[in-house]
Chains A and B, each alone.
Chain A
Amino acid sequence: GAGVSQSPSNKVTEKGKDVELRCDPISGHTALYWYRQRLGQGLEFLIYFQGNSAPDKSGLPSDRFSAERTGESVSTLTIQRTQQEDSAVYLCASSLGGPGLAGNDNEQFFGPGTRLTVL
């Protein structure tokens, strides 16, 4: 595809429900990141996948948050028992390679985000 795509673009849910957000990275990109951007705030790192390595989950705010990635393709971010403070834009980015690689390999390409509203 031409770029990183995310779905849905908007999601409104009720407190306590589970939601699943999807990210389709650029084909061939081995690294995939999830970020959260609350209104008026900066990027908050959530989780990072690099090839077949164990994901870096150090940014997940609670055990209600989890993410999976199928090989080097689609990733889903799941939020269980959503809370109002989970309301934010969830951004996905992919890069050709992971950290430490020279050249352009770790330039991140961002998707349009999923705006999550928890009522």
Chain B
Amino acid sequence: AQSVSQHNHHVILSEAASLELGCNYSYGGTVNLFWYVQYPGQHLQLLLKYFSGDPLVKGIKGFEAEFIKSKFSFNLRKPSVQWSDTAEYFCAVNGGYQKVTFGTGTKLQVIP
């Protein structure tokens, strides 16, 4: 069975600070990895995804994530956050023919 862990439940940053949100998964085979974002009052939308190839994936709004197979990780990063990045971020994984499993989410609050 696959699982996803997001270690940071609530992160508070000042504008211009750098961001890294942790995501670790457990699955021994090939995986597809996703980060979704939910802005206040809006529905979930895809931020970025990894299927194969370059392990450094770039998404919308300056976000990127790096797939490190040896660490079973897919951490989300942004060099300089903005107030508008305040949202909840979900990591998700699907391995093999299993359904997508979501992490419990990380709430990011950016202080102006």
Contacts and interface: CB of A to CB of B under 8 A. Distances in A.
Prevailing SS type, chain A contact patch: loop
A35 B49 CA distance: 20
Interface string A94-114: 000011101110111111110
Interface of B: 32, 34, 36, 43-46, 49, 51-52, 90, 92, 94, 96-105
Contacts of A48: 99
Contacts of B102: 35, 42-43, 45
B52 A42 contact: no
A85 B52 CA distance: 40
Give the interface residue-count category, chain A.
Answer: 20 to 34
B51 A99 contact: no
A100 B103 CA distance: 19
A106 B8 CA distance: 26
B94 A110 contact: no
